[in-house]
Structure 1
């Protein structure tokens, strides 16, 4: 009897509680008063020739119908995985520690999400390239790559990537690849270095110190080269010393500058390879009671959002990291869906942001 009562006490789902049928493109099209093809174009981000009113009507119908694209079905239909890989290759092992990298990835994710693609991220040490799962297992429709390392190592890795026969977007490589299914996207670090050096010289700098990490990073090298170029071609009576730290950490940066100061070297301006290093230098100079900018001017590089938390408005060069990521998503998806890159090499400008440290 007790058993019967326990069984009878289990509620029977009502008809209203049963799951509703999954909404389809046709359902959305009927609600919006457009064709299923129009709905597909709007949802997939391939909108061409439709006005904003049509787009808004379709998106409202998508929300009303609670429509969710069937990614698995789309993959079977198009022979695509609807995923793009991202390899971050470093000589260290903290792949997302750099705010520049996270900002670039933020833009890449936003651009891919908008177009219905997901991102598969893998951080690699340079010694692990041969065994990288993204390289070996081909789980994606294309690969984006951001890597540090010397020119020879990068050249060898590009050869490995070409052999995969997947479209590739390379971020922040100094020279576009002349062949292969590769698009190179970078920012103008050379001009950024030139402009910040010009600014410091115009403010009276006569002995400029550039402090950069030993890490072989093409962007850092380009920034220093741009500063050198301005001094050599402008006729400025400014001496430039390049100071290297073991890495870009605060301790290493401050240690390198402290060692330089201990040698009784005279300097009136410091150009740090990025803003993290510039903030570390600022703290060291403040601790040493060196006035900024009266005694020593200070500039950084990248101008990312995190410097707003720094109490002093730092002179820096704005890097379009987020925009670079968005651009990578656009060109990768365009290549996947049309079979070719619109452009093989694109360079975005950088911009001087003058603060109170110069």
Structure 2
């Protein structure tokens, strides 16, 4: 017989377990001062033990707050953007907040004010601008923010002393990719860059350049090409790069999707990996471990980016108007070594 779904724990269950009234439990949840310390600690332990989660709606009725965060996002079709959004949703739910999503039709939406006003009409308590930075879109958005805007956090953008910003170390990750290729004896290292309108594509290209220069290797235009993040564009860009840079013995590809296109080209043309060509991607998609051969790549903490954004935003929200110092947080990347640089042994 199918199992019955577990009954949801209620505030009444918590009260009965503590032998107190539901009103007392409610006062603890709402951080009212008129509860004895011993009772407060008992209720808090019981809430944790039973897994009770007060609903955002119930709390909003008590406190006259929405317990809702707004998220402005563009490029939802891209894997990185969607993973970050998942992290936002997970952490917001964990903190007892809902999420109201506003997707921009284009990266370069010229006027952000109607979007902010739409979110405020839903009484959001804070906003996450989840990017990505594309040309000057974030600077334009920051210049247009109304004075009555709720707390806001910007992701994947240049630091701004007026706002909390959270990003990923694209530059350091790219350098780590090139340094890994250098460590296995490669000297002719090409690049398939992402679209340079994107800040993260420019940062990864800069990391590639600086790592080569530090190793005493020249950087020239014929050593790199550009795709649009898709597998098809990666294959086409790599085909162009091969024709221009026949001595290339390795390539850093700015995302795993384009690296998949590179691997397809390599397979069709009988190029041996890693003997003839070593390949490093960027992202560490779940699928990259199952590419043939499996892909060495740079892991970026996309879900952690979303979770960190919620935590930083809620610090502002809970400060209730008190001025907090802004922060520029850069999350580290990690090299994941697989067969495209080290072979099957």
TM-score range, shorter chain: 0.7 to 0.9
d(CA) in 1 for partners of 2:165, 2:203? 16
From 86, 101, 116, the counterpart of 2:81: 101
Give 2:127's aligned residue.
143
1:174-253 alignment to 2 at 5 Å?
A: 174=158, 176-179=159-162, 182-236=163-217, 241-245=223-227, 247-253=228-234
The CA RMSD over aligned residues, in Å, is 3.2
Give 2:304's aligned residue.
323
Give 2:17's aligned residue.
31
From 81, 85, 99, the counterpart of 1:119: 99
Q: Which stretches in structure 1 are left out of the alignment for 5+ residues? A: 1-22, 43-47, 90-94
1:206-355 alignment to 2 at 5 Å?
A: 206-236=187-217, 241-245=223-227, 247-263=228-244, 265-339=246-320, 340-341=323-324, 343-355=326-338
Task: Kindly provide the CA deviation profile for residues 247-272 of structure 1, in whole angstroms up to 9, marking residues without a partner as x.
Answer: 12222221121123334633111111
Confirm whether residue 158 of structure 1 aligns to residue 142 of structure 2: yes
d(CA) in 2 for partners of 1:62, 1:354? 39
Q: CA deviation at 1:357?
A: 0.7
More divergent stretch after superposition (155-164 vs 265-274): 155-164
SS in structure 2 opposite 1:357? helix
Asked if the contact 2:138/2:157 (under 8 Å) is kept, the reply is: no
Q: CA deviation at 1:126?
A: 2.9
Confirm whether residue 80 of structure 1 aligns to residue 65 of structure 2: yes
d(CA) in 2 for partners of 1:54, 1:72? 21
SS in structure 2 opposite 1:107? helix
Q: CA deviation at 1:135?
A: 1.6
Task: Kindly provide the CA deviation profile for residues 153-189 of structure 1, in whole angstroms up to 9, marking residues without a partner as x.
Answer: 3211111235452211111113x2112xx21111111
d(CA) in 2 for partners of 1:298, 1:49? 60
Asked if the contact 2:28/2:43 (under 8 Å) is kept, the reply is: no
**Distance change in 2, residues 1:58/1:146 (3 Å):** closer
Q: CA deviation at 1:353?
A: 1.0
Asked if the contact 1:84/1:141 (under 8 Å) is kept, the reply is: yes
**Distance change in 2, residues 1:332/1:170 (3 Å):** same
Asked if the contact 1:148/1:217 (under 8 Å) is kept, the reply is: yes
d(CA) in 1 for partners of 2:325, 2:15? 32
d(CA) in 2 for partners of 1:298, 1:53? 56
d(CA) in 2 for partners of 1:51, 1:239? 66
TM-score normalised to structure 2 length: 0.81
Larger Rg: 1
Q: CA deviation at 1:312?
A: 2.7
d(CA) in 1 for partners of 2:179, 2:58? 56
Q: CA deviation at 1:112?
A: 0.3
Q: CA deviation at 1:31?
A: 2.7
Asked if the contact 1:206/1:237 (under 8 Å) is kept, the reply is: no
Paired positions, count: 319
SS in structure 2 opposite 1:243? strand
Give 2:157's aligned residue.
173
Asked if the contact 1:331/1:342 (under 8 Å) is kept, the reply is: no
